[in-house]
């Protein structure tokens, strides 16, 4: 049984991820698969990030996304982080802004978690057909 917060979050998630690139990552199936593992996990993922953070208007959409990306990098939740990196590109964040937000996290969460986040940025860019700049890794 979906709560209002969960449904609001699911609606907001689909609004943010439904673009021409939504075929690279099936967000709804991902959430449904979490319900099979733990009924509360899907609710946590959708209700907290999308139902609460992305439903607030005190920050811009880009700021909301950068805060969420930084938080998820700290938590080490790579599947969720990948989803929000996709959202970041959908709301107009550039690779530089996402990488910059992750780099700012190094003193607080350590280089290994940030490196994982940077790897996910490259993976998302490849899935979206975005070419990295020449001479960069």
Burial per residue of 82-101, b for 16 or more beta-carbon CB atoms within 10 angstroms, e otherwise: bbbbbbbbbbebebeebbeb
pLDDT at position 72, please?
A: 85
The 10 Å Cβ neighbour count of residue 25 is: 17
Tell whether the model's pLDDT for residue 14 goes beyond 90. Answer: no
Q: Which two tokens stand for residue 46?
A: 């959708």
This prediction's pTM? 0.68
Q: How far apart are CA 63 and CA 80, in angstroms?
A: 17
Tell whether the model's pLDDT for residue 5 goes beyond 60. Answer: yes
H or E stretch at 30: helix 27-37
């Amino acid at each position: 049984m979906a709560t209002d917060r969960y449904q609001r979050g699911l609606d907001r998630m689909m609004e943010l991820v439904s673009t021409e690139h939504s075929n690279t990552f099936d967000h709804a199936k991902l959430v449904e698969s979490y319900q099979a593992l733990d009924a509360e996990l899907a609710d946590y993922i959708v209700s907290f990030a999308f139902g609460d953070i992305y439903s607030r208007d005190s920050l811009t959409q880009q700021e909301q996304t950068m805060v969420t990306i930084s938080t998820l990098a700290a938590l080490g939740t790579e599947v969720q982080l990948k989803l929000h990196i996709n959202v970041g590109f959908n709301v107009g964040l550039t690779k530089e802004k996402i990488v910059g937000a992750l780099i700012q996290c190094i003193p607080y969460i350590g280089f290994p978690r940030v490196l994982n986040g940077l790897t996910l940025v490259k993976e998302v860019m490849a899935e979206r057909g975005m070419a990295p700049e020449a001479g960069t890794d």
